[in-house]
Amino acid sequence: MSIILNEVHNEGLSLNWKINKVLYKEKSDFQEVAIVELESFGRALVLDNAVQATVNDEFVYNEMITHVPLFTHANPEKVLIIGGGDGGAAREAAKHHSVKQVDMCEIDPKVIEACREFLPETSVSYDHPKVNVITKDGIQFVKDHPNTYDVIIIDSSDPIGPAVQLYNREFYASVKESLKEDGILACHSESLFLHQKLIKDIFASVDSLYPITRMYLATTPTYPGFSWSYIMGSKKYDPFETKIDEKQVVDAKYYNHDIFKATFVLPNFVKELVGLKK
């Protein structure tokens, strides 16, 4: 017998997911963690009844949140991922030849436990020699590691529960201190159509801290509104001026260097939203 998961996004929109099977369900110290088999998108990580990643399209999000900032940086060697407990972002970061170390700091060990057992497509990164899996509070972790990382990726869940503090200016300022003098911050900023206030607030916060702030887009069917946004804060490198060596390639399903060039092209209403010139 199938189950319907009603995922509420705001007062006017919710999505109904048909679940064929619940593979894992545990209440952690932070949230309810589940792995389910969705009718349309395959196995999925669900946190507090919100779908976080599915095996059918996780590669889009994970490739875009990692490869865009990593190819923007001239020589990324040390990468920190805040959140990202499914392991997908770490998997992608480890593909870069210049990257020597990927620290994945996930607050909830239950997420790691569930993904290791049921999402091998992403959790394969846990055993990669470049990857260190750390179960700590990411907010405190960045405070404890000043001037350490070339790229920090905030791969958080939605701004509720344990992730809510990962969406404010104070945290982005701590990330800046944890970055080296030419470091880059990258984070997702949710749906263009459902979370416009959040996008505006994140862009303004990052823009107030970093000399270069850029926004880019990708389409991920799992996420509400489909058009998903990302924001990058950089101390030195501007993706508009990045000249990628075409010989530097990664094994990817979605990302390529033409995508890199196109992803920063923003619709006029998005430019207006974040205060950019049309």
Biggest alpha carbon distance in the chain? 55
Give the integer Cα–Cα distance in Å for 6 and 75: 44
Q: Could you say which of 57, 155, 158, 207 is catalytic?
A: 155
Exposed e or buried b for every residue in 218-246, given b needs 16+ CB within 10 A?
bebebbbbeebbbbbbbbebebeebeeee
DSSP H or E segment with residue 43: strand 42-47
Q: Is 201 a known active-site residue?
A: no
- 228, two tokens: 């998903």
**Cβ neighbours for 253, distance < 8 A, ≥ 6 positions apart:** 59, 60, 63
Q: Please report how many Cα atoms fall inside a 13 Å half-sphere around the Cα of residue 242, on the Cβ side.
A: 27
Active site residues: 155
